[in-house]
Amino acid sequence: MEILNKILYKLHIKKPPRSHKGERELLPPPVKDILEKENLDTSSVIFSLKTDMCGAEEYGDVYIFFDEKGIYTAEIEEPIKPKKNKKKLDFKPKLLKLTSIPIDEIDEVFAEQYLATGQLTYTCKGEYYSLGYFSIGLLERADNFRRIFNAFKQNKDHEQYLNNDTGNACEKCGTPIPKGLKYCKDCVDKKSTVKRLFSFFGDVKWKMIFMICAVLFSSAINLILPKFSTQKLYDEVLNTSNTLGYDALLKGLFSVVLTMAALKITHQLFTLFYQYIVAGILPEVVYGIKLKIFKAMQSLSVGFYTHKQTGSLMDRVTRDANNIYWFFVDGFPYLIANAVTVAGLIVIMFFTSAKLTLTILSATVFILVLYPIVNKKFRKLHHRVWVQNSRLTSKVSDNINGHRIIKAFSKENDELDEFGKISSGLLNAEIKSANTESTVFPILSILIYLISAVVLGYGGILCIVHKEITVGELLTFVVYLQMLQAPIEFLSWVTTWWARCVDSAQRVFEIMDTEPDVKDKDNPIILDDFKGSVELQELQFEYEPAHPIIKNLSLKIEAGEMLGIVGKTGAGKTTISNLIARLYDPKEGVVKIDGIDVKDLSSKQLRRNIGIVSQDIFLFMGTIADNIRYARPDATNDEVIAAAKAASAHSFISKLPDGYETYVGSGGKGLSGGERQRISIARTIIQNPKILILDEATAAMDTETERNIQNSLSQLKSGRTTIAIAHRLSTLRDADKLAVIDEGECIEFGTYEELMEKKGAYYNMFKLQEEALRFIGIGEESSRETDEKEHEHNEQR
């Protein structure tokens, strides 16, 4: 059996899939069998988790699963034969330990995160108990176990989370596929990547066929050139045993020269033709690839961008697309030309002299073995130089961005020393690389020269002693030998280049294949009349597994009302606005707009009707007018100025030398934080949204500007739902309702009067800020207003 498995493995015949669509496998059949031998009914298991640790510091396979009666942990010994890529064909588990905890003794399950591991724990009457450990890579699945069990225990709908399980298995090999990916890393083969890579050239396939034909003709002419030039010249013209007359020799010479010129010109014409086609096709194809990556990136959710570093994404649009480009510009045509040349040369040489050809081929094998070894060495050396160069670039970039801090702390000399250290690292890497290159290449050249000399010597013997070949044929052989050197050298390292191109293609396809976390339903609801009432029902959300940011949050505001959200930094205020705009989907609970779940609404209509003025201000490259018009490019100049006036931005814009045509964004005019924020407010004003979210919109401004913008925003608020998030409570004076958020929970909700009367968290925050402002002398006016408001409120009562 073992031998059969080995054969199947070698033949790449994979074991049957562990799971099928629509049927989730909770426990593998062999594990089920041994558990059933222990009189455990595995048919009623609701959910199971396979962990990889049997102790805090020990690896081992443990299944944690539960049914209506309780939670069970089964430590299993799975004999796995160590194989290169973890594939196991034989699976005979042994039960080491089985424990069960009755469901009545479990109040709640928790997933705790440590540095590289995590622990599932549960509580019983306030006491904590351990369920088992797992590697940190399983945290998301462990957290899902916690969520499903707790929902089941609390008689909530636990089935909605069963499909959240990240255990989507590859249909071919059964390996779990990371969330967001469509393919399995082991089963995606180079063939399919290459097929997809060539599919980019589908639109230009006729041009490609013409190009390949031109390359073939060009190579073929190049091959026959020595036969019709060198050989003919030596054998028919310069041969001393020729008895032909002077005129006939001259005619022969003339014919050889003409043939040479004609062949060379035709060769060059075909070369020009294919290079012309390549130059036409490739920019078009690379433009297409970049456009496809960019389009895929636009459709991805915000979560994807927060998990990927910007640099890595930039690389994919630029470096990876260029890697593909350069291979096809510089590599692909020459790959065909060189492959045809090598094959053609060998055939022609073989027919000329089989003995000499075999000698050359044995020498070629030696070169083919030698070159990859040398290339591997150089690749490592070049990578080291690249790494050192990257360090140096990062240091320079750090210095340029932090120049003010460096000067303020008088750290120029320290920075210089550090730069010197990194620079000397690069110097050493470059010296080592250059030294190796200058030693290895001459040695290689000498070796190749020696091989040529041996071939020439042996050919001379065949020509002079054995009379097997003519002088012309021998000299043609020498020319062919020289012609063989460059293609062989090329073919020996083009594989590395090709691998790099396929890697880049793979990374590009990864983006194209990533499914957005937030996507519209097939037939989303489009509201005829978008009013703007917002309701959050038992909302729960986390950016990272087991780190809840929003915990069971519920609140409601009617269309046209203003809600003020207050709370400490990191309380989850901004997350609420992200969830309302559906930049993320909640883990649990529902966000409703006009009584409909946002997941059912068209996200295009939703976002067109939600305007966010965020604390992270971003201006795109372009003029100030372009930036204000961003949400509505058809806005007139009048509307742009009116929006800027409403956002108190007009006064500073009109003072700029280039006015509304001032270039901003990366490389543009430097504006202050307040100025940039005012432009972003104008951008939202022109959007005219039904729901306006102001996330610390005026935090970066002085009191006077803040007051001006507040007045502008007050006008803007009329007729639309406004959600204002603020630290400074004075900015929420006009709010109809206030919500105090603490650690992801709404701890107080009501009108200003209700909360002040309650004398709870809001009241304490208000008094604290009032005292602070009074202390620094700028809050007198605001406190007077508050006193007036309180007085007015008391009178009303």
Partner 1 sequence: MSNDKLKIEFLKPENCVFSFNSNGFLVMTLEGELKGRVKLIRTYPYSLTDEYICVHDLDDNEIGIIRDLKELDQNSKESAEKELQNRYYCPTVTAVKSVKERMGHFYFQTVVDGKEKNFTVRDITRNMRFASDDTLLIFDMDGNRYIIPEFEKIESKSKRLLEPYLY
CA distances from 639 to 96, 145, 628 (A): 75, 54, 10
Locate 422 and state its tokens: 């990194």
The Cβ of residue 71 has, within 10 Å, a number of other Cβ atoms equal to: 23
The distance of closest approach from Cβ of residue 377 to partner 1 in the complex, given in angstroms and rounded to an integer, is: 11
- The overall longest dimension of the chain from CA atoms, in Å, is 134
Q: Does position 380 bind partner 1 by CB under 8 A?
A: yes
Q: Does position 129 bind partner 1 by CB under 8 A?
A: yes
- DSSP-derived 3-state class of residue 557: strand
Q: Does position 319 bind partner 1 by CB under 8 A?
A: no
The distance of closest approach from Cβ of residue 58 to partner 1 in the complex, given in angstroms and rounded to an integer, is: 8
The distance of closest approach from Cβ of residue 116 to partner 1 in the complex, given in angstroms and rounded to an integer, is: 4
Q: Does position 96 bind partner 1 by CB under 8 A?
A: no
Which one among 158, 264, 507, 728 touches partner 1, defined by CB under 8 A? 507
- DSSP-derived 3-state class of residue 675: helix
The distance of closest approach from Cβ of residue 312 to partner 1 in the complex, given in angstroms and rounded to an integer, is: 6
Distance CA 465, CA 219 (A): 34
In sequence order, the β-bridge partners of residue 23 are 20
Distance CA 87, CA 186 (A): 10
The distance of closest approach from Cβ of residue 517 to partner 1 in the complex, given in angstroms and rounded to an integer, is: 17
Q: Does position 12 bind partner 1 by CB under 8 A?
A: no
Which one among 44, 130, 318, 439 touches partner 1, defined by CB under 8 A? 130
Q: Does position 384 bind partner 1 by CB under 8 A?
A: yes
Percent helix, strand, coil in the chain, to 5, is 55, 15, 25
Q: Does position 393 bind partner 1 by CB under 8 A?
A: no
Q: Does position 135 bind partner 1 by CB under 8 A?
A: yes
Q: Does position 185 bind partner 1 by CB under 8 A?
A: yes
SS (H, E, C) 686-743: HHCCCEEEEECCCCCCCHHHHHHHHHHHHHHHCCCEEEEECCCHHHHCCCCEEEEEEC
Task: Please choose, out of 134-142, 337-345, 466-474, 525-533, the segment that lies near partner 1 by the rule CB under 8 A.
Answer: 134-142
In sequence order, the β-bridge partners of residue 622 are 664
The distance of closest approach from Cβ of residue 185 to partner 1 in the complex, given in angstroms and rounded to an integer, is: 6
Task: Please choose, out of 78-86, 263-271, 430-438, 729-737, the segment that lies near partner 1 by the rule CB under 8 A.
Answer: 78-86
Q: Does position 518 bind partner 1 by CB under 8 A?
A: no
- Give me the phi and psi of 497, to 5 degrees please: -65, -45
Q: Does position 127 bind partner 1 by CB under 8 A?
A: yes
The distance of closest approach from Cβ of residue 309 to partner 1 in the complex, given in angstroms and rounded to an integer, is: 7
Which one among 45, 139, 197, 349 touches partner 1, defined by CB under 8 A? 139
Q: Does position 178 bind partner 1 by CB under 8 A?
A: yes
* Pairing, β 117-124 against β 127-135: antiparallel
Q: Position of tokens 């944690």? A: 64
Task: Identify the H or E element spanning 664.
Answer: strand 663-664
Closest alpha carbon to 552 in 597, 588, 592, 593: 588
Footprint on residues 646-705 left by partner 1 (CB under 8 A): none
Q: Residue 38: how many CA atoms within 13 Å on its side-chain side?
A: 16
Q: Does position 309 bind partner 1 by CB under 8 A?
A: yes
Reading phi first (left if > 0) and then psi (alpha if -120 to 50, else beta), residue 669 is in beta
Task: Please choose, out of 187-195, 219-227, 479-487, 663-671, the segment that lies near partner 1 by the rule CB under 8 A.
Answer: 187-195
The distance of closest approach from Cβ of residue 503 to partner 1 in the complex, given in angstroms and rounded to an integer, is: 4
Please identify, using beta-carbon distances, which residue of 429 and 484 lies nearer to partner 1.
429
Task: Please choose, out of 17-25, 182-190, 727-735, 768-776, the segment that lies near partner 1 by the rule CB under 8 A.
Answer: 182-190
The distance of closest approach from Cβ of residue 589 to partner 1 in the complex, given in angstroms and rounded to an integer, is: 22
Q: Does position 503 bind partner 1 by CB under 8 A?
A: yes
The distance of closest approach from Cβ of residue 114 to partner 1 in the complex, given in angstroms and rounded to an integer, is: 5
Q: Does position 395 bind partner 1 by CB under 8 A?
A: no
The contact mask relative to partner 1 for 473-502 (x = CB under 8 A, - = no) is -----------------------------x
The distance of closest approach from Cβ of residue 140 to partner 1 in the complex, given in angstroms and rounded to an integer, is: 8
What DSSP letter does each residue of 468-526 carry, written as one string?
-S-HHHHHHHHHHHHHHHHHHHHHHHHHHHHHHHHHHHHHHHHHHHPPPSS---SS-B-
* Helix 471-513 × helix 332-352 angle, to 10°: 150
Q: Does position 465 bind partner 1 by CB under 8 A?
A: no
Residues 516-530: b if buried by 16+ CB within 10 A, e if exposed: eebeeeeebeebeeb
- Give me the phi and psi of 397, to 5 degrees please: -60, -45
The distance of closest approach from Cβ of residue 668 to partner 1 in the complex, given in angstroms and rounded to an integer, is: 30
Which one among 44, 242, 306, 312 touches partner 1, defined by CB under 8 A? 312
Q: Does position 283 bind partner 1 by CB under 8 A?
A: no
Please identify, using beta-carbon distances, which residue of 15 and 384 lies nearer to partner 1.
384
Q: Judged by CB under 8 A, how many residues of this single chain contact partner 1?
A: 38
Q: Does position 513 bind partner 1 by CB under 8 A?
A: no
Which one among 39, 43, 85, 240 touches partner 1, defined by CB under 8 A? 85
Q: Does position 569 bind partner 1 by CB under 8 A?
A: no
* Helix 246-299 × helix 471-513 angle, to 10°: 10
Please identify, using beta-carbon distances, which residue of 184 and 277 lies nearer to partner 1.
184
Closest alpha carbon to 601 in 550, 534, 688, 552: 534
Q: Does position 636 bind partner 1 by CB under 8 A?
A: no
Distance CA 64, CA 109 (A): 12
Q: Does position 136 bind partner 1 by CB under 8 A?
A: yes
Task: Please choose, out of 63-71, 384-392, 398-406, 767-775, the segment that lies near partner 1 by the rule CB under 8 A.
Answer: 384-392
The Cβ of residue 24 has, within 10 Å, a number of other Cβ atoms equal to: 15
Which one among 322, 506, 540, 703 touches partner 1, defined by CB under 8 A? 506
**Do residues 762 and 566 touch, judged by C-beta distance below 8 A?**
yes
In sequence order, the β-bridge partners of residue 48 are 65
Distance CA 344, CA 353 (A): 14
Task: Identify the H or E element spanning 6.
Answer: helix 2-10
Q: Does position 306 bind partner 1 by CB under 8 A?
A: no
Which one among 32, 391, 519, 531 touches partner 1, defined by CB under 8 A? 391
Please identify, using beta-carbon distances, which residue of 187 and 700 lies nearer to partner 1.
187
The distance of closest approach from Cβ of residue 576 to partner 1 in the complex, given in angstroms and rounded to an integer, is: 21
Footprint on residues 191-230 left by partner 1 (CB under 8 A): 193
**Do residues 577 and 591 touch, judged by C-beta distance below 8 A?**
no
Q: Does position 390 bind partner 1 by CB under 8 A?
A: yes
**Do residues 527 and 598 touch, judged by C-beta distance below 8 A?**
no
The distance of closest approach from Cβ of residue 400 to partner 1 in the complex, given in angstroms and rounded to an integer, is: 20
**Do residues 686 and 713 touch, judged by C-beta distance below 8 A?**
no
Please identify, using beta-carbon distances, which residue of 166 and 605 lies nearer to partner 1.
166
Long-range contacts of 180-189 (CB under 8 A, 24+ apart): 180/304, 180/514, 180/515, 180/517, 181/510, 181/513, 181/514, 182/513, 182/515, 183/513, 186/85, 186/87, 187/14, 188/506
Residues 113-150: b if buried by 16+ CB within 10 A, e if exposed: beeebbbbbbeeeeeeeebbbbeeebbbbbbbbbbbbb
**Do residues 738 and 755 touch, judged by C-beta distance below 8 A?**
yes
Footprint on residues 25-64 left by partner 1 (CB under 8 A): 56-57, 59
Please identify, using beta-carbon distances, which residue of 306 and 362 lies nearer to partner 1.
306
Binding site for partner 1 (CB under 8 A): 56-57, 59, 82, 84-86, 114-117, 127-130, 135-139, 178, 185, 188, 190, 193, 309, 312, 380, 383-384, 387, 390-391, 502-504, 506-507
